[in-house]
């Protein structure tokens, strides 16, 4: 995974990208070094200093994923000390621990998403249906919202993190069939708060929320067999 792919994938799905990245780096370390009681030995025909620089680069990228996003880990990032064997050994431990942590997180997220889908199917619940194009559009708008909120200076840090967590949960749970749209409509309340507190300064964020809820309203309108020209009653198009 090159740098551009890593950044783009991270914007699309941070948790899954962390898992894939840590697994990839662990595999590369295992392929090129051997750990033993006397330290670490590079077993392939590569320059040890260059390999060390590459691992430090990977480590820095992983550290940045957590310091410049709303992701969380319980693992402590220890600064490298310049000792190649000790540093690679400790970096390996960090990558392994985070890989296991995010393997469990992604498994729980997958379980929740799939179980929600099948609960609706088996219980014959009323379901809202999104097309592939609508799901892609929703994911795109959530990513744009995350970027707008992350760089915004309007919100206090606690409020900003709460909004980002709301988006992360929403993005994790979006699929083509959903039994309710409550998480989406919760964003409308956030838009109202933003307008009330910040007025026109919040317009970029409010505009993205409006676009997102317009897509959702289309699915709700179809499911409830409303006329095609029915307007969304929860969004004031003139605001």
Domain boundaries, the chain: 3-105, 126-223
- Return phi, psi of residue 156, to 5°: -65, 155
pLDDT of residue 66: 92
From the list 29, 22, 15, the residue with the least C-alpha distance to 1 is: 22
CA-to-CA distance for 81 and 46, rounded, in angstroms? 22
Mean pLDDT of 220-228: 79
Matching residue, tokens 């988006």: 167
Quick one: DSSP state of residue 128? Answer: E
CA-to-CA distance for 75 and 72, rounded, in angstroms? 9
Other beta carbons within 10 Å of 156: 8
Task: Give the orientation angle of helix 157-173 with respect to helix 182-198, to 10 degrees.
Answer: 150
**CA 153 remoteness from chain centre:** 21
Instruction: Supply the pTM of this predicted model.
Output: 0.51
State the average pLDDT for the chain: 82
Indicate the SS3 state at residue 42: strand
Residue 26's pLDDT band (boundaries 50, 70, 90)? very high
pLDDT of residue 86: 87
pLDDT of residue 112: 77
Instruction: Give residue 39's region: left, alpha or beta (phi > 0; psi -120 to 50).
Output: left
pLDDT in tens, 150-179: 888 887 787 788 888 888 888 887 877 777
Does residue 236 have a pLDDT over 60? no
What percent of the chain lies above the pLDDT cut of 90? 21
Matching residue, tokens 């740098």: 3
Burial environment of residue 202 by CB neighbours within 10 A (0 to 12, 13 to 18, 19 or more):
buried
Residue 223's pLDDT band (boundaries 50, 70, 90)? confident
Return the beta strands (E) in 38-119 as ranges: 39-42
Quick one: DSSP state of residue 123? Answer: T
What does the buried/exposed string (b/e) look like for 179-200 if buried means 16 or more CB atoms within 10 Å of the residue's CB?
eeeebbeebbebbbebbeeeee
DSSP alpha helix (H) spans, 123-235: 132-151, 157-173, 182-198, 203-223
């Amino acid at each position: 995974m090159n740098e551009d792919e890593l950044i783009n994938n991270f914007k699309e799905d941070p948790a899954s990208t962390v898992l894939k990245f840590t697994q990839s780096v662990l595999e590369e370390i295992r392929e090129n070094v051997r750990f033993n009681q006397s330290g670490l030995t590079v077993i392939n025909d590569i320059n040890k200093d260059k390999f060390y620089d590459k691992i430090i680069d990977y480590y820095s990228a992983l550290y940045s994923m957590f310091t410049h996003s709303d992701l969380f880990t319980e693992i402590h990032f220890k600064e490298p000390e310049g000792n190649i064997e000790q540093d690679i050994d400790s970096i390996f431990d960090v990558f392994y621990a985070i890989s296991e942590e995010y393997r469990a997180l992604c498994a729980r997220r997958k379980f929740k998403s799939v179980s929600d889908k099948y609960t609706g199917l088996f219980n014959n619940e009323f379901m809202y249906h999104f097309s592939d194009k609508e799901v892609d559009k929703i994911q795109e708008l959530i990513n744009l919202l995350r970027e707008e909120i992350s760089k915004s200076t309007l919100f206090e840090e606690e409020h900003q993190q709460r909004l980002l967590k709301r988006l992360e949960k929403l993005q994790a749970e979006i699929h083509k069939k959903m039994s309710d749209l409550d998480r989406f409509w919760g964003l409308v309340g956030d838009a109202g708060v933003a307008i009330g507190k910040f007025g026109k300064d919040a317009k970029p964020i409010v505009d993205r929320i409006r676009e997102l809820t317009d897509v959702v309203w289309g699915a709700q309108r179809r499911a409830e067999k409303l006329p095609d020209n029915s307007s969304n009653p929860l969004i004031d198009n003139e605001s």
